[in-house]
Amino acid sequence: MQADNATETAASMRPNHRRLLVLVGGPFPGSQDDRAGLILARARGADVLVVAPALPIPGERWTIDLDARKAQARANLQRWTDVLADEAESVHGEIGDESPPLAVADALDSFAADEYLDALGLEHSPRRQRRPCQRLRNLFAPAPVSPGPRAGHA
């Protein structure tokens, strides 16, 4: 492709990159997980911002340990950014508010994402993957035939 203006550089002519916002709530579950695999595929060649909200930690009930929450979010963020760095054009991360919707809203203030992918709850993905499939099987399964009160009467 040739530039119409001779002063345009190759950097200014490169195609627009997709900007992807990924919300994570746990460690990277592995590329065999369907949703994690989708996120890896969508991150290929994109500018990615990973947001890890400072979610409540297991066992937290009466006291709130903000330092522990941030440490857990930082560890999750590091795992995701390490994995996505191999696929993405660029990867950035930030620790967000404890409320995932607020964490996303805050991130969108400084990052104009083209696409948003939610990876909350992927640490429990084997169980979560089976449930939708079971619901689909139930939806498309033939209805059970049970004899009604008039069964056998013609």
Query: For the chain, what is the mean pLDDT?
Result: 77
Give Cα 153 distance to the centre of its chain: 57
Rounded distance, CA 127 to CA 83, Å? 23
Query: What percent of the chain shows pLDDT beyond 70?
Result: 68
What's the whole-number mean pLDDT along residues 29-44? Answer: 88
8 A C-beta contact, residue 93 and residue 138:
no
pLDDT of residue 129: 43
pLDDT of residue 78: 95
* More confident site: 127 or 102: 102
* More confident site: 124 or 95: 95
pLDDT bracket for residue 35 (50, 70, 90): confident
Q: What is the pLDDT of residues 71-110, one digit of tens each?
A: 999 999 999 999 999 999 999 999 999 999 999 999 999 9
**In this structure, what are the phi and psi dihedrals at residue 118, rounded to the nearest 5 degrees?**
-100, 120
Q: What is the pLDDT of residues 45-60, one digit of tens each?
A: 999 999 999 998 887 7
What's the whole-number mean pLDDT along residues 110-122? Answer: 87
Rounded distance, CA 33 to CA 53, Å? 21
Angle of helix 66-85 versus helix 34-43 axis, rounded to 10: 60
